[in-house]
Structure 1
Amino acid sequence: MSAADFLLAPEVQKLLKVVFAEPMNRFSVAELEKRTKLNPELIEQTQEHLLQSGILCRHKSKADEQEAVGANTSFVFYNELRTIALKSFAAAEPIRAMLRSKFKDSVLRAFVLGEDKDATVELLVVHGQLVPEESEMAAACRKLSTSIGRHLDVHVISSTRYAALTARDDLTLKLAAPFAIEVVAEGDTKAKAPIERGGLLQSARRKLAALGR
């Protein structure tokens, strides 16, 4: 099996999802079993390969603690792996799941714009007819931030504002950057796009016509 094939293995992705979501934490086999739902033998085999590859590092256990592993931040490809994790399973997936479950009636589209050196993930949320409750969005993002080990910098704009973005807009430049990824596409949720002014007029005309019959 090649290194690339190994990194694409489901058990590796499950383990790295946990580790890269909280890169400063340490994880015992028991904790990884709880988080990944994998059996202990497979976890030990997988983490041993990742340890030998330098992706993980081992932390010595104390007398009353189990041996633990964590992300090796000195690994030569650590930043690249974090980028992959951000785009695929460590940050994007939890963000997508949160928005699609808690804000399915208001979030029309959403994009992860990138992550800075301080582990702050920038998120653009585009709402439809309904606007997400500010306090609810803030609370959900705080909870998620704790879960994934990253701060969230969230921009919430209307679909009308999104459609009006120009090439010179800062958000347009960020959306065009290679690290940007769409985590919620239009149609993924129950959110509805605003009715255009012309559409409202046509609707009113149809109602008047019906009343005149």
Structure 2
Amino acid sequence: MSAADFLLAPEVQKLLRVAYAAPGQRFPTSELAQRAKLDADDVSRTLEHLVKSGILKWNKPKSDLPATVEVDRSFVFHDELRSIALKSFAAAEPIRAMLRSRFKESVLRAFVLEEDEDASVEVLIVHGQLMPDEAEMTTACEKLSKTIGRHLEVHVISNARFGRLTSRDALTAKLAADSAHEIVALGDTKAKLPVERAGLIQSAARKLATLYGPTA
């Protein structure tokens, strides 16, 4: 198995999703298995490769406590791998999947703005004609937050508001940062672009012209 195939293996992605979501936390194998939703054999086999590769490291057990594993920040490609993990399968992918399934009629675009070392993810959601139900969105984000072990800070704005962002807006600076990346693009969902007011006026004018015909 190549290094690329290994990193793309589902078991590896699930374990790294948990580990990189809390890079300073030490996990017993039983907790890793529970959080990653993998059986003990899969976790043991995958951990062996991750530790041998230098991506994770074991910590010696204290007294009668079990041994724990954590992210090895001295790994030569730690920053690059963590960036890839966070932008793909660690946080972005679960958020993307949730938005594209539960809110496909309302979410037009979505961006991960920033991911902090304290396991916090800031997300910007742009809605179309329909606005996501606030209570439903809150519940879905809270549930996902528990699943991936990360706090979600979510901004929901209209497409019109998104189009009016200026250089003075804090969101503009965050969107321009290297840490920002789009996780739901136009056309990824069934959300429709809102009908602009000017468009409604033009449409009404065309209908009137059709009804009454040209004036003399």
Say yes or no: TM over 0.5. yes
After superposition, the C-alpha distances for 1:131-178 in whole angstroms (9 at most, x for unaligned) are: 111111111111111111110111111100111111232111111111
Secondary structure (helix, strand or coil) at the match of 1:168 reads coil
Q: Structure 1's 126 and 166: CA in aligned 2 closer, same or farther, altered over 3 A?
A: same
Report the TM-score when normalising by structure 2. 0.79
CA distance in 1, matches of 2:47, 2:125: 36
TM-score, length-scaled by structure 1: 0.80
- Give the distance between the partners of 1:90 and 1:26, measured in 2 at CA: 19
Range that drifts further, 167-176 or 120-129? 167-176
Alignment: residue pair count? 210
- Give the 5 Å matches for 1:1-213: 6-8=6-8, 11-21=11-21, 24=25, 25-28=27-30, 31=33, 35=37, 40=41, 44-58=44-58, 70-72=69-71, 74-76=73-75, 78-209=78-209, 211=211
- Tell me how far 1:80 sits from its aligned partner: 4.4
Q: Is the 8 A contact 1:56 1:69 kept in 2?
A: no
TM superposition shift of 1:191: 0.8
Percent pairwise identity: 62
Q: 2: CA distance between counterparts of 1:154 and 1:212?
A: 49
Letter of the 2:33 counterpart:
E
Show structure 1 runs of 5+ residues with no match.
none
Q: Which ranges in structure 2 are unaligned for 5 or more consecutive residues?
A: none
| Separation (CA, whole Å) in 2 of partners of 1:121 and 1:8 | 23
SS in 1 for 2:194: coil
- 2:113 aligned partner, one-letter code: L
Quote the RMSD (CA, aligned, Å): 3.3
CA distance in 2 between counterparts of 1:117 and 1:30 reads: 19
> 2: distance between equivalents of 1:82 and 1:207?
56
Residues 37-61 of structure 1, C-alpha deviations (whole Å, 9 max, x = no match): 8x94x65443212112332233678
Please give the secondary structure, in 1, of the residue aligned with 2:101. Answer: helix
- What amino acid does structure 2 have at the position aligned with 1:26? P
Which runs of 4 or more aligned residues in structure 1 lie more than 6 Å from their structure 2 counterparts after TM superposition? none
In structure 2, what is the Cα distance between the partners aligned to 1:30 and 1:147?
12
Q: Distance in 1 between matches of 2:107 and 2:18?
A: 26
CA offset digits 1:112-147 (Å, max 9, x no partner): 001123211000000111111111111111111111
